[in-house]
Structure 1
Amino acid sequence: MCTTCGCAEGNLYIEGDEHNPHSAFRSAPFAPAARPTLKITGIKTPDFAPSQTTEGDLHYGHGEAGTHAPGMSQRRMLEVEIDVLDKNNRLAERNRARFAAHQQLVLNLVSSPGSGKTTLLTETLMKLKDRVPCAVIEGDQQTVNDAARIRATGTPAIQVNTGKGCHLDAQMIADAAPRLPLDDRGILFIENVGNLVCPASFDLGEKHKVAVLSVTEGEDKPLKYPHMFAAASLMLLNKVDLLPYLNFDVEKCIASAREVNPEIEIILISATSGEGMDQWLVWLEAQRCA
């Protein structure tokens, strides 16, 4: 995971930085990050071997760190991860305190790429328009496409490009949120980078993680990526209008999610047909009032 492999050290770009004379990224938000040439010799690789099943499959998640990186011991990876997450968690608590002071509901939308969360979000914003003040932080590795789609609904949005990074972190939210106009008691939607692994570990200061899973992905996804669904308060089972055309077992998917997280709430939803949208809006209002 990126708490140990360093993939978060990408070329961060937040919309507006190109106008900031102190920004290192103002001249080329899509420029490739510099990659120094390293020559490392004399490093002994710590003894580590993946566990094997009777079928010969390899499992690298059984060590202390729950993952594997060439040239690093399990203990060292664990130390690095604890250090990274500790710093992030302190920043997340500051974000949470700031949001709480303004009674703002903050939701971290997480999913794999192509789950339909941007379309679902735009439809949600249209239904909330003139009812609840909203703002959006959009996370992607590159482009400002999704932020443009959000702004087309009339909702303030800011794009955060993570470069090589595969998730948003608390510092990015601390940098982006103050640039958005959002009234007290409003809703801040954070659409994370499409990734069901790393965003599970990074607290942004949100009240809830909302996992979006589309019926085109397979009903065993919660079992394949358990950390994300364990961290989520709500699962939106999206694109249910496509169920007549797919071999997708809804009950099996729900059972898989609840095997990982017995407390998770689940809403079947479709931005195309409108199914489940009212239930989703009721859930949002309940969280605002909680």
Structure 2
Amino acid sequence: MCESMDEVSQAVLAKNDGLAASLRAELAGRGVMVVNLLSSPGSGKTELLARVLARAVERRVPVAALTADLATENDALRLARSGAPVKQLLTDGLCHLEARRLRTHVEGWLPDPTALLFVENVGNLVCPAAYDLGESLRIVCMAVTEGEDKPLKYPTAFGSAHLVVLTKTDLAGPAAFDATAFDAHVQRVNPGVEVVRSCARDGEGVDTLLERVLAARDGGPVHRPPLAPHPHGHSHGPAGEGAEGSAGLLAGHRVP
């Protein structure tokens, strides 16, 4: 039975990877680079993304954002204040996005010209880490209030990141956050990855993050994460959702 579930999981991810590769090629042909933002709930990634979008609009960078949640359009309303085109994607209870669903929402909506498409994934560091969305850049965000051992608890998410962003740095003191230990834990699961410090409240790290994304878009060197096994194999979503919502075991997967 375990072998059967493993085989189903691998088939699900293989199908998703094929769709993701196709979507990445199609969007690249249109001059669009996808940036996938992962984090747990409450990391502050929505506010940080809002600041990045506003700065991109200010600099006349053609940018758009798609934000995913199980319910409400609250994040889309917040992000839209930046002046960038924004669309809400409701997952109907699924804890992650998949390439198929992203393609459906991008088709017929993504404005021309768009150079950068930020995808704010569902707040979850487990399931979304297994699914390539067709992104060229994967960024994992974590708040200092979550604890410095987070990278060790979620090695697949942090191990598959091209860039790690530490948020809410203004709370590091009250949270007794051990920055040295955090940096060591990040490097343990993803040697060589850059960590950007940020505080959306005062704007720290906003320009740095945007510059890193623009550099990747313009062909600059991007850190390539090591292969990282997914520690879980389990069912996602209601019955009848189909193969793409049924399993999540990752073995040797990384974002190209």
Structure 1: which 5+ residue stretches go unaligned?
A: 1-72
Do residues 123 (structure 1) and 57 (structure 2) align? no
2:151 to 204, 222, 229: 222
- Aligned counterpart in structure 2 of residue 288 of structure 1, from 217, 220, 224: 217
Q: State the 1:99 CA deviation.
A: 1.3
Matched, 1:90 2:18: yes
Aligned to 1:4: none
* Distance across 2 between alignment mates of 1:109 and 1:265: 15
Query: Alignment partner of 1:129: what SS?
Result: helix
The equivalent of 2:222 in structure 1 is none
SS in 2 for 1:216: helix
Equivalents in 1 of 2:81, 2:114: separation in Å? Answer: 23
Equivalent in the alignment of 1:187:
116
TM-score by length of 1: 0.73
- The farther-off stretch of 107-116 and 161-170 is 161-170
Deviation at 1:184, TM superposition (A): 4.1
- How far apart, in 1, do the equivalents of 2:211 and 2:153 lie? 30
Q: d(CA) in 1 for partners of 2:112 and 2:192?
A: 31
Provide the residue aligned with 2:107 in structure 1: 178
* 1:107 matched to 2:41: no
Asked whether the equivalents of residues 150 and 157 of structure 1 are also in contact (C-alpha less than 8 Å), the reply is yes
Output the aligned Cα RMSD. Answer: 1.2
Note the C-alpha offset of 1:277. 2.0
User: Which runs of structure 2 are paired with 1:135-284 in the superposition (5 Å)?
Assistant: 135-184=64-113, 186-284=115-213
Q: In 2, distance between residues paired with 1:97 and 1:142?
A: 30
* Unpaired segments ≥5 residues, structure 2: 220-256
Distance 1:269 1:208 in 2: 18
- Taking the aligned partners of 2:61 and 2:216, their CA distance within structure 1 comes to 13
- Percent identity of paired positions between Structure 1 and Structure 2: 44
Which segment is superposed worse, 79-88 or 217-226? 79-88
CA distance in 2, matches of 1:181, 1:112: 26
The C-alpha deviation readout for 1:7-46, integer Å capped at 9, x for no partner, is xxxxxxxxxxxxxxxxxxxxxxxxxxxxxxxxxxxxxxxx
Aligned residue pair count: 218
State the secondary structure of the residue aligned to 2:107: helix
Larger RCO (alpha carbons 8 Å, 6+ apart): 2
Give the ranges of 4+ consecutive aligned residues of structure 1 lying more than 4 Å apart after TM superposition: none
Aligned partners of 2:120 and 2:55: how far apart in 1? 18
Is 1:78 aligned to residue 6 of structure 2? yes
1:148 is paired with a residue whose SS is helix
Aligned AA (1:128): A
1:251 CA drift (Å)? 1.3
